Chain A
């Protein structure tokens, strides 16, 4: 066992020395390799962080949201609907919600106005999300005016700025008093945007949804788990498309690795010949070359991954955001919460190290079976 470890140590020593001796040659491959890991890792880290944000938003959402449809389009809930549902087994709370979108032509972005359930916002004041506060330079106790869709100008004073924990969820949010909301949007009194139902037991959700659609045939229940699934598949799909597009580059990389590994320089060929002649066995040369591949892979993987981490979480993934985010305009600026997922690391490993090792196996073997007596025949 000890001699096995000692042998591997010698092989690694030799490999490191020989890699350093051929810096220029290996640097090219290492750069391409690192770049590939960087691109793939950026795409994966970014979509995963987005997925995480979406999950965080949905965690706070009610289990069921009931929307009324008119001619297949979302419409306001008229008064009396909440009462018509009445008490239902398994439903902890029913309440009508008020919310709407507002387009701010100053910064060319959409805001979400929402009336909080607990009525905690006083008349004439608003609570704003962090992205919006940053963008419009808002601090508590400063004032802001919005021109409503009817053309009237409304002024509010900022009571507070929402915490930054999950920006995607609250970046563009404005919490507003109910009376202000109805006045600002000229919302008919008694109407609500939709109805939120909270259900304690996840097994009950489907049954309740079925009951609701029987009770109120003109409305549509939307389940939180369905939303979660939709988001998950949406992000997976985006990630998958991205990878499919990048698969050409993986293939190109594998070909490059094969080329590099088979196109041994005369120097390297001679070196392997010498090693064979002075008593190295084919297996030793293969092991040495595998160590070489392993060391290159490890270096490229670490460099590329750390680079991607910084790219995504420090700089907001400027290279991929437009493709992967999809609604970039709404969120002019936000930082993602750093998340690294084991499955993603494993997948990334399969997409980079696996093709590399598979591509170099045959060339390594070919180099290793050099005749031991070749150096004497030349």
Chain B
């Protein structure tokens, strides 16, 4: 469903510290399966993830989603596509402090103008599903690491996206919590959700849920 053709991405272009994070990547990602990007830090896997997830535009090359070229789209339209298609779980979870768990879950839907009541019911259901119903009114900073991640997952799902994107999902979790995450991931795999994640944690990359493993190094794919 997502195709990248000779995608390159530069930072600080034209300046003395110009740096190419990605240099010529071609890749096709299938729907309804879990894909993992593996590589050491600095290999460009997170940058690749931002391009796939419409968080950023490639400096050159083409990205297509369902056959539609999205690489030249301005941010306004990219955001719209991103909101509908992708849900994000970040490495640091990135919950907003001071807001309750349920408010954090509802945040991505605010710009869509969905009716408040409906939105709230939806968020409650998601928290319930992730066994967090009892923590709905707890502030983000009072939640444990595992709870924070589950809130972040609920938040990623609030707009009912086709694709779930997770950046180093187990990096900030101990083994027990990482296993809990893997259980959630497995349930997504069983539901036939499309999941794309980056990781260098063998617990993730060597798991049976991961249908496809893409290896990266120095901004390039490693042929396996």
Contact = CB atoms under 8 A, between A and B. Distances in A.
Given A375-B94, A376-B49, A277 B110 contact: no
B120 to A, nearest CB: 11
B107 interface: yes
B179 interface: no
16 contacts: A2-B113, A3-B114, A6-B115, A9-B116, A10-B110, A11-B110, A17-B99, A273-B94, A277-B94, A278-B156, A280-B107, A281-B75, A281-B76, A282-B79, A373-B55, A377-B47
Interface residues of B, number: 36
Given A6-B113, A279-B83, A280-B107, 19 more contacts: A2-B113, A3-B112, A6-B115, A7-B111, A10-B110, A270-B94, A274-B96, A277-B55, A278-B88, A278-B94, A278-B156, A280-B108, A280-B110, A281-B75, A281-B80, A372-B82, A373-B55, A376-B50, A376-B167
A14 B106 CA distance: 11
Contact of B55 (A18, A274, A280, A376): A376
Contacts of A327: none
B192 interface: no
Interface of B: 46-47, 49-50, 55-56, 75-76, 79-80, 82-83, 88, 90-92, 94-99, 103, 107-108, 110-116, 155-156, 159, 167
Given A17-B103, A279-B83, A376-B46, A284 B88 contact: no
A277 B80 contact: no
Contact of A377 (B46, B75, B108): B46
A138 to B, nearest CB: 64
A279 B111 contact: yes
Contacts of A371: 56
B165 to A, nearest CB: 10
Contact of B108 (A5, A273, A279, A372): A279
Nearest to B75: A282
Contact of A277 (B46, B90, B111): B90
Interface residues of A, number: 33
A285 to B, nearest CB: 9
Contact of B96 (A3, A6, A271, A377): A271
B113 A10 contact: yes
A270 B99 CA distance: 14
Nearest to B161: A279
Given A277-B90, A376-B90, A282 B76 contact: yes
Given A17-B103, A373-B55, A376-B46, A274 B94 contact: yes
A43 to B, nearest CB: 39
B56 A373 contact: yes
B113 A372 contact: no
B113 A277 contact: no
In the complex, the 4 A-B pairs of residues with the closest C-beta atoms, listed nearest first: A3-B113, A7-B113, A279-B83, A10-B110
Interface in A329-377: 371-373, 375-377
Nearest to A270: B94
Contacts of A84: none
